[in-house]
Structure 1
Amino acid sequence: MPVFRRVMQVLWLVVIAVAAVALVKIAFFPDRAADADPTTPGGQLVEPRWEVGRGTVTNDIVLTGSVAADEAVPIPATVGGVVWEVYVVKGQWVDAGADVLRIRGDVIDAEGVPQTVWRTVTAPASGTLSSLTAFEDSSVAAGAAVGQIAPPTFHVSGSIPPEELYRLIQRPTEATVTVNGGPAPFTCTGLQILTPMPGQDGGGDGSGGAASGPTLRCAVPADVTVFAGLTAQIVIPGGVAEDVIVVPTTAVLGQAQRGVVYVVLPDGSTEQREVSLGLNDGSMVEVTEGLAEGEAVLQFVPGAPAVPGDPTGGGVVMIAPVDGSVSFSR
């Protein structure tokens, strides 16, 4: 009996020792696969794709501008001669057509005979007489300005990036203006987009360049109270296209009229395809010809950087590891 007990004690000691060794192995020496070779790629980059669908493109161009008083209107002398009488004073309000001064002029008639004529110069516009350079007994030349009238009207103007002109397929005649700290948004009429010509605004050095880029201007309604120098937001409506084929602008090489997209084929390869473009809201562009709903295109033109703020979240890269799972990284 003592021998059996001793044998059992030895067996228990062996079992406890084996269990202790196993625990140490698990805790400090876990099984693991052979270290991967850091020079061997472990995943595959898959270029993001966009499934072609339908949507609405609202082509509004938002710009920053300022309010300014309309330019003074010159008062031209209708004949050369001597100012005989002046009917107004500087700073006075005058209505269009009101008498400003009277000139005694000497002219030569068709037969070459000198003639004395009397001409009354009238105000070409309503406003405040901001300057008056003619006075009684002074001499004036025909067509020369004898004064200026400051009209009570205002306009809003601002610069427009040249590339934005591509978005204006049809030139609008109105814009919506919101004056900072001013009245409710109003419609600004008579919208003009002006592009400087070579030699204009100081560009007369023959270099062929203009002093500045395109600008826009529209008239403030007479019943809207504004002041010169106020800043304003200008929204130019460029049209709305509803239920049309759209893709992100990042997917198109070229942003106006014609472009190129990279269409994903069934076998995963891509082909370049020329498309016709319509309205563009800065993030999505209408495709009028060349793509069908349900096709897939590369979300980003190969080689082009991701554009911050694009409609898909921007800069999403799909990473496909060798095990077949897919993850996303920004």
Structure 2
Amino acid sequence: MGVMRRWVFPVLRIVVLAAIAVALVKLAFFPSGEATAADPAVPTGELSDPVTAVATGTIVNDVRVTGSIVADDAVPARATAAGTVNEVQTAVGTHVEAGDVLFDVKIETPRDPVVTTGPDGAETVTERKPLVTYSAVTAPIAGTVSQLPVLSGQAVAIGDTVGAVAPPTFSATASLPPEQQYRLVDRPDSASVSVKGGPAPFTCTALSITTPPATASEAPSGAAPGGGAASGASGSGSSSTTTVRCAVPGDVTVFAGLSADITISAGKAEGVLTVPTTAVKGSAEKGIVFVPDEKGGDPKEVPVTLGLTDGTSVQITGGLAEGDTVLEFVPGAPAPTGDGCVQGPGGGMICSGTAAS
């Protein structure tokens, strides 16, 4: 027993302490491969650009804009003859039908004098009163008289605006971002309108998309007479706003000022080749996609022709085949922001199918 206490136990104690020390040294300075692989902070793969495949799908080209309900503009009533106002037969706020008389214009036309010869051969000149006729100024449309700035005895000339009649009709109108016009090359004649707090969505007709012509004030500030540029000036022109407008049906009750969402359906393509809009450089008619290099080199630019787009996907009408692989994002373009938006190649933000400036 004395030998055990004197030699065996101390030796065992030394062996155990040595084993612990060796284990600690190994863990501290020589970690195992499994531990390294399990560490999420250690990179284990290679970076690569995300790709997408050309697939068959459906493109619904619905352009949505937000605007408001407005009362249709009053139609002016114009004088059709020169003369004086004879009798005003209505007043502002009165309902009239198309063709109702607003007032009469008294027209005095001078007449040649009468010349008579007496028995003694002397001529007598007798002046005659002017010929008096009346010309009626009528309501151009049915509605409410909104302006009638004339008084009895007032002189008017041909073409003078002498009143206005406001129709009892409304329209839905909104501004259209310039880049959205590419999606409306084939313009429909109607749209769907949803009024906030109003009736169910309805179809409005007589759809028009207009851009007012540029005026002199919108010319570049650096432009000189004759088309030359002024020295040292670097002005830039401003573009006019494009407006969408359509007529609200007469049996739909709306009020001016209500918010309205206008949806313009400009086509639908089924069973066509599609890619994300983020994969194409360009958004209308022609574009460029980037095909990854199998050997890891720079991607190859491939020109394509484009069809309809819904803001998220775009139709490929030529240049690619189903199953072809392209980069999901144009090289150099920023990745999605995380809120469902991505900046397109043209600089605009594309959010959930709608382009925003």
Q: TM-score, normalised by structure 2?
A: 0.76
* Residue of 105, 108, 119 corresponding to 2:107: 105
CA deviations on 1:98-148 (whole Å, 9 max, x unpaired) are 122111224699xxxx86432112111011111211232221111111111
Q: Does residue 170 in structure 1 map to residue 186 in structure 2?
A: yes
- Secondary structure at the aligned position of 2:181 is classed as helix
Offset of residue 263 of structure 1: 1.5
Q: Does residue 276 in structure 1 map to residue 305 in structure 2?
A: yes
Offset of residue 265 of structure 1: 4.6
* Residue of 8, 16, 19 corresponding to 1:19: 16
CA deviations on 1:173-203 (whole Å, 9 max, x unpaired) are 1111111111111111111111121107x64
What is the correspondence of 1:130-279 to structure 2 with a 5 Å cutoff? 130-199=146-215, 203=218, 209-210=237-238, 212-269=240-297, 270-279=299-308
- Secondary structure at the aligned position of 1:45 is classed as coil
Offset of residue 15 of structure 1: 3.2
* Residue of 316, 319, 326 corresponding to 1:287: 316
- Secondary structure at the aligned position of 1:18 is classed as helix
Counterpart contact for 2:65–2:262, Cα < 8 Å: yes
* Residue of 32, 51, 57 corresponding to 1:55: 57
CA deviations on 1:67-102 (whole Å, 9 max, x unpaired) are 111111111111110122222122110001112211
Offset of residue 164 of structure 1: 0.6
Q: What corresponds to 2:31 in structure 1?
A: 32
Instruction: Give the distance between the partners of 1:309 and 1:195, measured in 2 at CA.
Output: 35
Query: 1:9 and 1:59, CA in 2 relative to 1: closer, same or farther beyond 3 A?
Result: farther
- Secondary structure at the aligned position of 1:46 is classed as coil
Instruction: Give the distance between the partners of 2:201 and 2:79, measured in 1 at CA.
Output: 41
Q: What corresponds to 1:91 in structure 2?
A: 93
Counterpart contact for 1:199–1:210, Cα < 8 Å: no
Instruction: Give the distance between the partners of 1:204 and 1:304, measured in 2 at CA.
Output: 33
Instruction: Give the distance between the partners of 2:133 and 2:77, measured in 1 at CA.
Output: 19
Instruction: Give the distance between the partners of 2:3 and 2:326, measured in 1 at CA.
Output: 80
Identity of aligned residues (%): 44
Number of corresponding residues: 301
What is the correspondence of 1:74-89 to structure 2 with a 5 Å cutoff? 74-89=76-91
Counterpart contact for 1:98–1:122, Cα < 8 Å: yes
Query: 1:306 and 1:204, CA in 2 relative to 1: closer, same or farther beyond 3 A?
Result: closer
CA deviations on 1:264-296 (whole Å, 9 max, x unpaired) are 354454311100001111111110101101110
Query: 1:273 and 1:233, CA in 2 relative to 1: closer, same or farther beyond 3 A?
Result: same
Offset of residue 29 of structure 1: 4.8
Instruction: Give the distance between the partners of 2:109 and 2:45, measured in 1 at CA.
Output: 94
Amino acid at match of 1:154: F
- Secondary structure at the aligned position of 1:14 is classed as helix
Q: What corresponds to 2:352 in structure 1?
A: none
Q: What corresponds to 1:122 in structure 2?
A: 138
Counterpart contact for 1:248–1:310, Cα < 8 Å: no
* Residue of 70, 73, 87 corresponding to 2:72: 70
Instruction: Give the distance between the partners of 2:210 and 2:88, measured in 1 at CA.
Output: 38
Query: 1:83 and 1:45, CA in 2 relative to 1: closer, same or farther beyond 3 A?
Result: same
Instruction: Give the distance between the partners of 2:176 and 2:286, measured in 1 at CA.
Output: 22
CA deviations on 1:133-168 (whole Å, 9 max, x unpaired) are 123222111111111111111111111110011111
Instruction: Give the distance between the partners of 2:272 and 2:96, measured in 1 at CA.
Output: 55
Q: What corresponds to 1:320 in structure 2?
A: none
Q: What corresponds to 2:122 in structure 1?
A: none
* Residue of 40, 44, 48 corresponding to 1:46: 48
Query: 1:108 and 1:68, CA in 2 relative to 1: closer, same or farther beyond 3 A?
Result: farther
Query: 1:172 and 1:255, CA in 2 relative to 1: closer, same or farther beyond 3 A?
Result: same
Instruction: Give the distance between the partners of 2:238 and 2:171, measured in 1 at CA.
Output: 23
Amino acid at match of 1:153: T
Instruction: Give the distance between the partners of 1:278 and 1:172, measured in 2 at CA.
Output: 17
Offset of residue 214 of structure 1: 1.0
Instruction: Give the distance between the partners of 1:137 and 1:205, measured in 2 at CA.
Output: 48
Superposed CA RMSD: 3.0
Instruction: Give the distance between the partners of 1:107 and 1:205, measured in 2 at CA.
Output: 52
Q: TM-score, normalised by structure 1?
A: 0.82
- Unaligned 5+ residue runs, structure 1? 36-40, 316-330
Q: What corresponds to 2:327 in structure 1?
A: 298
Query: 1:307 and 1:242, CA in 2 relative to 1: closer, same or farther beyond 3 A?
Result: same
